[in-house]
Chains A and B, each alone.
With several copies, the nearest count.
Chain A
Amino acid sequence: MKRKVFATLDEAVADIPDGARIMFGGFGGAGFPNNLIQALARKGTRNITAISNNCGTRDGELGLMFKNNQIKHAIAAFPGPHANYFLERYAAKEVTLELVPQGILCERMRAAAAGLQGFYTTVGVGTEVAAGKEERVIEGQRCILEMPIHADFALIKAQKADELGNLTYRLAARNFNPIMAMAAKTTIAEVEEIVPVGAIDPEHVITPAIFVHRIVKAKGLRYA
């Protein structure tokens, strides 16, 4: 069996190089891989393209990455009112932003996961989001072409992993995590609990092990 369980957070992120494209799970304070983000801060990877719903909550979540100036480009749906460090860097033109409607952000990641090369949607037609995108009329509806969002790594948070990498999530902490797990080349999951292979009911697995490459146990960390 491939050894997926890592002893430490730092080992789990040790090879993430400068310039990496990284997805970060989480929404509304729930399901953020905050322990892995701290490890990535210690590692000091720079020039990251970050794909995440938002851009940090004060010092927490991606806030730490922007505070340390580790991110050069963000792809996000809701940078957020408390993304202080991002907003400073953005105002100073030290970081660029692609703003994407949230469901389309999900679908673009899923397209990457599913080996699809692009899709048409009515979402964003006639808005700033459509700028520079191909537009066409399909079945009488104006649509724009949206492209897959790929990533080198996904840092996600799950509740439970078996040693093989099957994951379950708790309540609404699921959010973006299963999508990102499928979309990235290498998925690293911090989890509250690691159980033996076979301990999760196969019908209750939310993220099958095929999508999970590294697991590390860490007590969930939440920012207000």
Chain B
Amino acid sequence: MPDKPRLAREQIAQRAAQELTDGAYVNLGWGIPNLIADYLPAGITVYFHSENGILGMGRRAKPGEEDYDLVDAMKVPVTIIPGASFFHQADAHLMTRGGHLDAAVLGAFQVSEKGDLANWKIPGAKGTGNIGGAMDIAAGAKMLIVCMEHTTKDGSPKIVKECTYPLTALACVNTIVTDLAVMDVKPEGLLLREVAPGWTAEKVQAVTGAALHFKGHVREMSFV
């Protein structure tokens, strides 16, 4: 029997959005995390933080509405919501590094079973790699969620015993949401919390480079 389809990037974002709580201050990184703002559970307000000095980012600007002095960390014109504030980049990172954000969501190339994160440089790739704010965010986040595909395009595990890519921070990740599963990093290792619809714990384990802990039936991810 062929594997069930994996989740789309939007579904990963949608599932990760459920981890956020009303009134939370949250930083979203490049890639899949940046899609999360569109999938917040109904009725909650989240104050999105941008490392260039914004708290209370709203949706992206519509065509014609763009103000290029009001961009997010991906250089995309955004809007603000009531209660927003502006500050300089040092204060923005005082917030990230100082543990003031309730959660941060980052993309990743690899996550280890100890919660080590590698997300800024691919070995052998051209260029220098780009750290940006990721190291400060990873070091300081009270709750760090990683959103990524479970495996690379060629099927290699991105969840591994030890990261082989250049590290962003040690033992920083709390939760991993992929196109196949939701996992928590615990002292004893990776706890498999949920699997994608139609997948089983065993099938997810088969494409994971580290041991997954689970007891009995593992719940399916839902998106409401």
Q: How many residues on the A side are at the interface (Cβ–Cβ under 8 A)? A: 68
| A133 located at the interface, meaning its Cβ lies under 8 Å from any Cβ of chain B in the complex | no
| A114 located at the interface, meaning its Cβ lies under 8 Å from any Cβ of chain B in the complex | yes
Given contacts A102-B89, A102-B133, A209-B85, contact A1 B75 (CB under 8 A): no
Given contacts A28-B73, A115-B94, A208-B55, contact A171 B47 (CB under 8 A): no
Q: What CA separation (Å) do A211 and B67 show in the bound complex? A: 27
**Complex contact A197–B83 (CB within 8 A):** yes
Choice from B45, B68, B167 contacting A127 with Cβ under 8 Å: B167
Chain A, Cβ-Cβ closest to B54:
A172
Task: Provide the residues of chain B in CB contact with A53, threshold 8 Å.
Answer: 89
Residues of B in contact with A, size category: 35 or more
Task: Provide the residues of chain A in CB contact with B67, threshold 8 Å.
Answer: 171
Chain B, Cβ-Cβ closest to A86:
B128
**Smallest beta-carbon distance A102→chain B, Å:** 4
**Complex contact A125–B169 (CB within 8 A):** yes
**Smallest beta-carbon distance B116→chain A, Å:** 8
Q: What CA separation (Å) do A100 and B84 show in the bound complex? A: 28
**Smallest beta-carbon distance A51→chain B, Å:** 13
| B109 located at the interface, meaning its Cβ lies under 8 Å from any Cβ of chain A in the complex | no
Task: Provide the residues of chain A in CB contact with B90, threshold 8 Å.
Answer: 103, 106-107, 109-110, 179
B residues 161-182 touching A (CB-CB < 8 Å): 166-170
Task: Provide the residues of chain B in CB contact with A219, threshold 8 Å.
Answer: none
Contact with B along A113-138 (1 / 0, CB 8 A): 11110000111111111000000000
**Complex contact A126–B54 (CB within 8 A):** no
A contacts with B: majority SS: loop
Residue positions of A touching B, CB distance < 8 A: 1-2, 27-31, 53, 77-81, 87, 90-91, 97, 99-104, 106-107, 109-110, 112-116, 121-129, 142, 162, 164, 166, 169-179, 182, 197-198, 202-203, 205-206, 208-211, 222
Residue positions of B touching A, CB distance < 8 A: 22-23, 25, 45, 47, 49-56, 67-75, 80, 82-101, 116, 121, 126-136, 139-140, 166-170
25 A-B pairs in the complex with CB atoms less than 8 angstroms apart:
A2-B23, A27-B52, A30-B68, A53-B89, A78-B130, A80-B130, A87-B126, A90-B127, A102-B51, A103-B51, A114-B93, A114-B94, A115-B98, A115-B139, A123-B136, A126-B167, A127-B167, A170-B69, A172-B70, A172-B86, A178-B88, A182-B98, A202-B84, A205-B85, A209-B83
